[in-house]
Amino acid sequence: MAAAYALMKYVESVQSMTIAEGSLMVSFVGSEGSIMMDGETIKNLELITNIRTGKRQHSLFGLLNHTKTAQGQRMLLSTIVQPPAEINTITMRLDAVGELLQDEGMFFSIGAALGGFLDINHLLSQLVQMPRKNSTQAQSLRYSQMTITNIILMKHLIHLLPPVIDALSRCSNP
């Protein structure tokens, strides 16, 4: 928890912003239920990057990454370096993939619905930031412009939800 607090204070100092009180809840989530791999193993198995080129292309991640959103890309990356070890989780994921493979229409409708999604994590992190009380006029103006942009992006995001909900409503596996 101390590391999370230190990181938030560092971000506040770099961004010249404060994080709105009560807007974040930090909790520790252990790695039980997943396989832990060290950096050397990840490198040698070329899970994220190719050993020769150092690029993601021609690695397991590069091969599998056909994600439509930044969140999907981060989740895939996380799943590759810390795969589940619990049989129930593995079975649920296999069932979900099997369902998508059997129903091509559902697969493409979900992909199309997710295609326009923005980086929600980035947007949410912007929404919890506030200017410091001793901000300069330029910083306050930048914050105001950022707030207007974020409101427009949030509206765009809300308009994208019904097609995603509709596409996912046909799924029988979570």
pLDDT band at 42 (very low <50, low <70, confident <90, very high): very high
**Has residue 56 got a pLDDT over 90?**
yes
- Judged by DSSP in three states, 10 sits in helix
Q: What is the mean pLDDT of residues 22-29?
A: 78
Average confidence score pLDDT of the chain? 88
Q: What is the per-residue pLDDT for 96?
A: 93
Lowest mean pLDDT of 7-11, 47-51, 105-109, name the range: 7-11
pLDDT band at 8 (very low <50, low <70, confident <90, very high): confident
pLDDT tens digits, one per residue of 104-148: 999 999 999 998 888 888 888 888 877 777 778 887 788 889 889
Q: What is the per-residue pLDDT for 73?
A: 95
Q: For residue 120, which of 83, 160, 82 has the smallest C-alpha distance?
A: 160
pLDDT band at 84 (very low <50, low <70, confident <90, very high): very high
**Has residue 65 got a pLDDT over 90?**
yes
Contacts 24+ apart (CB under 8 A), 93-102: 95/173, 96/171, 96/173, 96/174, 98/173, 99/171, 99/172, 99/173
**Has residue 100 got a pLDDT over 80?**
yes
pLDDT band at 101 (very low <50, low <70, confident <90, very high): very high
pTM metric for this prediction: 0.76
